[in-house]
Amino acid sequence: MQFVHISIMTVFIISLAYVCTKPLSFRMLKIECVPYDPALTNISCSIRNHGTAQNAADVECFMGRPLNDILIHMAVWKKLNGNFILTPINMTINACQYLSKNARVPFHANLIMKWVQSFSNINHTCPYSGHIFVRNLRTDNFRMIIPDGEYRMDVKLYEKSFSHPIILVRGFGKRI
């Protein structure tokens, strides 16, 4: 029985390693930005095509005042039977504490934040103001274990404990 248990674990580990190293076929289809704060201007959200299987997202804006207490709420939705259903990836992090290295965040939040930071100027502690951007955000170098299907990711930024929404960035994509 011990041998059977070890063999099943070995197959599971090898399968998991294959899935984690297999190139992710995830295509971003659409991006939307909905501003809530009047100090947020020159907002641009777009998808650029990088060939038949890949494209990249760009989000840029100008914040006319400093942001000191930023909360980021991230939620991933999967399309089932024509409707988007919330997945277990549904969390809120304090961005200022995260960027100052004073906050512990869930593993998947840390993965997503590091991925976005590598394409942006979101690389210092608060406050944030002026030109803020995420450029050429691609999924071909981001590996994640997700089943095939259509997805939506909502990222909503707040200031001061959910009392002041700043912007909602909503992205749509498909894992094939």
Q: Which residue has the higher pLDDT, 98 or 53?
A: 98
pLDDT score of 35: 95
According to the model, what pLDDT value does residue 10 have? 45
Cβ 78 vs Cβ 87: under 8 Å? yes
Show the domain range for 149. 26-175
The CATH number given to whatever domain includes residue 162 is: 2.70.220.10
Is 9 a member of any domain? Answer: no
pLDDT tens across 20-58, in order?
455 556 788 899 999 999 999 999 999 988 766 678 899
105 close to 89: Cβ distance less than 8 angstroms: no
Decide if 161 is inside a domain.
yes
Q: Identify whether 12 is part of a domain.
A: no
Q: Classify residue 121: in a domain, yes or no.
A: yes
How many of the other CB atoms lie within 10 Å of CB of 68? 12
| Predicted pLDDT at 84 | 96
Which pLDDT band holds residue 164 (cuts at 50, 70, 90)? confident
- With respect to residue 46, please indicate whether it lies within any of the assigned structural domains: yes
In a domain, 17, yes or no: no
Q: Which of 2-11, 30-39, 91-100 has the lowest mean pLDDT?
A: 2-11
In a domain, residue 36? The reply is yes
Question: Is the confidence at residue 104, as pLDDT, over 60?
Answer: yes
Counting residues of the chain whose pLDDT is more than 90, the rounded percentage is 45
Higher pLDDT, 21 or 170: 170
DSSP 161: T
pLDDT in the model for residue 168? 96
Q: What is the pLDDT of residues 115-131, one digit of tens each?
A: 888 899 988 889 999 99
Number of domains in the chain: 1
Nearest-angstrom CA–CA distance, 58 and 43: 10
pLDDT mean over 125-138: 92
* pLDDT tens for each residue of 64-83: 999 988 999 999 999 999 99
Cβ atoms of residues 20 and 146 within 8 Å: no
Q: Burial level of 72, CB count in 10 A (0-12/13-18/19+)?
A: buried
Q: What is the pLDDT of residue 6?
A: 46
Determine the pLDDT at residue 143. 57
In sequence order, which residues have a C-beta less than 8 Å from that of residue 90 and are 6 or more positions away? 74, 75, 76
How many other C-beta atoms are found inside a 10 Å radius of the C-beta of residue 151?
Answer: 21
Task: Report the pLDDT value the prediction gives residue 109, as an integer from 0 to 100.
Answer: 80
Domain annotation covers residue 20: no
Q: Is 69 within 8 Å of 96 (Cβ atoms)? A: yes
Tokens of 85: 């259903």
